[in-house]
Amino acid sequence: MRMWTRMMEFMSKRMIACDEASFLISYRSDHRLGFLRWWQLKFHLLTCHLCRKYARQIVELNRSMEIYKEQCTHESCAHHLSPEAGTRIGHKFEKELNAK
Amino acid sequence: MRIFYLVPGIHLSTLSMPDSPEHILEPQHWMERYGDYLFNFAMVRLNDREKAEDLVQETFLAALKARERFMGKSNERTWLTSILKRKIIDVYRKKYSARESSLDAYEVDVSDGDFYRSENPFKGHWMEGKGPNSHSLLPEGELEESELAGFIQQCIEGLPPQLGAAFIMKMIDEEDSETICKELGITPSNLWVMLHRARLRMRDCLEQRWLK
């Protein structure tokens, strides 16, 4: 029995709240968690439906950022120089180029 | 240097500069070839038309000045992009120094008054309405890609500047964390907390947009 109380004490001291859990969720998209951290997060996720949703959404966020990055380096959402700005920069540049 | 004499297979000529560079510079075509590309590159990272236009111009002028130092190892576009990248980082830095004091708030502390409760029995729990609401961040069914890009752009714009800078360098430029820390003058733990905070806000912002 004493063993059990000890174990519960040990566990409750290491329980984490949603703020730490959500930090770990974000952190694990770039790192491997250590065993204690991993276990703390698993335990929290068992009991917290909000953080379970959060974890799923962060995966989606990371994936959307991938899509965004792909798109924005290609044509579909690319920004273009306005013609005025284009000519302005072009003129300025040509002046410099000819001065050389 | 002398050790190379002893290594078989490495001829001394390979250690000196190549006689003919693989790439040459043609400044007269820069504007038409790379103007749009560089502008887009800056826009994605700064989201400020005027600033982006200025940076494109500055990049071209700086490149013209530094023309002699071009080694011909990378192609023109890569070279120009690397110059532009330096300029963008300078802009990030300036944004920082303008708000130096707020950087102190980003110590290694995961609590965030905007999202978590701070009163005691519920300390660290999600604040009402700030936690995730819907099952999925993205709406059901096929997603208009351009729509997604627009929302992400708006949400990045809404991030506090220092979070935005760290988030963009990490997620879009895919810089390694060492580089980001060095450029922004922060510690790795600062960086992970900042990325966490940026993701908190991005998630919240995107969810709000889809619900509308």
ipTM for the complex shown: 0.81
- Asked whether the beta carbons of residue B149 and residue A85 sit closer than 8 angstroms, the reply is no
Say what the pLDDT of residue B7 is.
47
To probe the interface with B, which of A79, A95, A96 has the most B CB atoms within 10 Å? Answer: A79
Tokens of B47: 């989201």
Which residue do the tokens 């936690």 mark?
B131
Torsion angles phi and psi, residue B126, rounded to 5: -60, 140
CA B197 to CA B201: how far, in whole Å?
6
Point out the least confidently predicted range of A64-78, B65-79, B190-204: A64-78
Q: How far apart are CA B36 and CA A78, in angstroms?
A: 9
In angstroms, how far is CA B157 from the centroid of its own chain? 13
Give the closest residue to B35 by CA, choosing from A86, A91, A73.
A86
* Residue spans of alpha helices (H) in chain B: 3-6, 30-46, 49-65, 76-98, 100-104, 145-158, 161-171, 177-184, 188-211
Q: Write down the pLDDT at residue A72.
A: 75
Find the closest chain A residue to B206 by CA distance: A61
Q: At B116, is the secondary structure helix, strand, or coil?
A: strand
Q: Which domains does chain B have, with CATH numbers?
A: 22-100 (1.10.1740.10), 143-212 (1.10.10.10)
| Contacts (Cβ under 8 Å, ≥6 apart) of A34 | none
What B13-16 contacts at long range (C-beta under 8 Å, 24+ apart), as own/partner pairs, is none
Nearest partner of B131 among A68, A16, A17, judged by Cα: A17
- Kindly identify which residue of chain B lies nearest to residue A89, measuring between CA atoms: B57
* pLDDT per residue of chain A (100 residues) written in tens, 0 to 9: 788 888 778 777 778 888 889 999 999 998 898 898 999 999 999 999 999 999 999 999 998 898 888 877 766 667 788 888 888 888 888 887 787 6
Exposure string (b/e) for B170-201, b if CB count within 10 Å is 16 or more? Answer: bbbbebebeebbebbebeeebbbbbbbbbbbb
Q: How far apart are CA B207 and CA A66, in angstroms?
A: 18
Does A72 contact B149 at a Cβ distance shorter than 8 Å? yes
Terminal Cα-to-Cα distance of chain B (whole angstroms): 65
Best of B196, B201, B204, B207 to substitute, by most chain A Cβ atoms within 10 angstroms, is B196
User: Is residue A83 within 8 Å of residue B53, measured between CB atoms?
Assistant: no
Distance CA A6, CA B137 (A): 41
| Alpha-carbon gap, residue B172 to A25, rounded angstroms | 20
pLDDT(B201) > 50: yes
pLDDT of residue B110: 65
Alpha-carbon gap, residue B146 to A72, rounded angstroms? 10
Residue B197 CA to residue B189 CA, distance in Å, equals 12
Q: What is the pLDDT of residues B115-139, one digit of tens each?
A: 888 877 778 888 888 888 877 777 6
Percent of chain A with pLDDT over 90: 32
Query: Is the Cβ pair A80, B126 closer than 8 Å?
Result: no
